[in-house]
Structure 1
Amino acid sequence: LSIIGCVVNGPGEALMTDVGFTGGGAGSGMVYLAGKQHHKLGNDAMVDHIVELVEKRAAELEAERAAAPKAAE
């Protein structure tokens, strides 16, 4: 997870995260998923949306981990 207010450094940081958000001014920023620019989002919705994305990604990772031992059998 990366949340960077700087539009200059933020995109570089977001490239290395599963979920990222960079500020952009004018009341909105950019959401990054799997290191790629995904969609623009208003700052007023940022916290709830980012929490939702992080929880979704955490559930995906848990499912992958749970399936890994079964795949090795």
Structure 2
Amino acid sequence: MGCVVNGPGEAADADIGIAGGKGSGILFKKGKVVKKVKEEDFVPVLLAEINMMLDKSEEV
């Protein structure tokens, strides 16, 4: 997780990350913006995305 200023750069090499601002944030996957997320949804959305990634890795 990072702030809206540094988050995009910090997320560039991450599998998944959130850059948070006041009231909302941006979800990143592999350095690319996936979607805008409300602040109160950061944890549930991040966990859901991680679980989807894990499910896909188990299929291989």
Unaligned runs of 5+ in 2: none
Within a 5 Å distance, the mapping from 1:46-61 to structure 2 comes to: 46-61=42-57
* Larger fraction in strand: 2
Within a 5 Å distance, the mapping from 1:10-29 to structure 2 comes to: 10-25=7-22, 27-29=23-25
TM-score (norm 1): 0.72
The percentage of aligned residue pairs carrying the same residue is 35
**Larger relative contact order (CA 8 Å, sep ≥ 6):** 2
For 1:61 and 1:17, the matched residues in 2 are separated by 16
CA offset at residue 18 of structure 1?
A: 1.7
Q: Which runs of 4+ in 1 moved over 6 A?
A: none
TM-score (norm 2): 0.85
- The CA RMSD over aligned residues, in Å, is 1.2
Unaligned runs of 5+ in 1: 65-73
Larger radius of gyration: 1
* Larger fraction in helix: 1
Corresponding pairs, count: 60
For 2:11 and 2:24, the matched residues in 1 are separated by 16
